[in-house]
């Protein structure tokens, strides 16, 4: 008879056992299943929050209007535009500098040629008329209101 009572109790407990449809676990009571199902619900909520967070991160990276990919593409585009502009400015500056150097060479050549021509003219005048340069210098000194140096004494010193 004692075994009948134990058997009856065991059968009563077996009848109260519930199988979880989500994971197949045996839960001892209906109340226990409610607690077990609450655990599943909490885990599902937690997993959904993680999935939502991953979606937010994915959107932050790939959003076509504000995402990191868009920002990176905008930065690359701005850098490319700046480099292109810098190249154009550098090319213009180099061209302008080359033109200035060329003009400077031309001006220097013209100045050297003019000085050389003037020197040749002075040498020719001095050779043709040795006292002529001193007469011109005396005339310039007179116009400039400078004291006129005795040309004859300078010619004597020269010889």
- Ramachandran region, residue 20 (left: φ > 0; alpha: ψ -120 to 50; beta: rest): beta
pTM of the entire structure?
0.43
CA 36 to chain centroid: 59
Which 3 state secondary structure label does DSSP give 28?
coil
Strand, coil or helix: 27: strand
What element of type H or E holds 19?
strand 18-19
Q: Which residues of 45-73 are buried (b: 16+ CB within 10 A; e: fewer)?
A: eeeeeeeeeeeeeeeeeeeeeeeeeeeee
* 148, 141 contact by CB (below 8 A): yes
Residue 18 carries which DSSP code?
A: E
Instruction: Give me the pLDDT at residue 82, please.
Output: 95
Residue 150, pLDDT score: 61
Which residues in the chain come in under a pLDDT of 70? 1-2, 126, 130-131, 148-159
Domain boundaries, the chain: 9-146
| DSSP-assigned letters across all residues of 96-144 | HHHHHHHHHHHHHHHHHHHHHHHHHHHHHHHHH-TTHHHHHHHHHHHHT
């Amino acid at each position: 008879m004692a075994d009948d009572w134990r058997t009856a109790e065991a059968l009563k407990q077996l009848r109260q056992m519930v199988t979880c449809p989500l994971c197949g676990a045996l839960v001892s009571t209906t109340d226990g299943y409610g607690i077990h199902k609450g655990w599943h619900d909490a885990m599902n909520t937690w997993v959904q929050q993680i999935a939502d967070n991953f979606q937010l991160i994915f959107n932050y990276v790939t959003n076509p209007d504000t995402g990191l990919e868009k920002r990176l593409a905008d930065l690359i585009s701005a850098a490319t535009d700046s480099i292109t502009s810098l190249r154009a400015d550098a090319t213009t500056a180099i061209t302008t500098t080359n033109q200035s150097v060329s003009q400077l060479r031309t001006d220097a050549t013209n100045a050297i040629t003019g000085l050389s021509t003037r020197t040749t003219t002075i040498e020719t005048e001095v050779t043709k008329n040795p006292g002529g340069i001193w007469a011109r210098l005396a005339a310039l000194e007179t116009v400039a209101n400078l004291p006129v140096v005795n040309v004859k004494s300078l010619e004597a010193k020269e010889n």
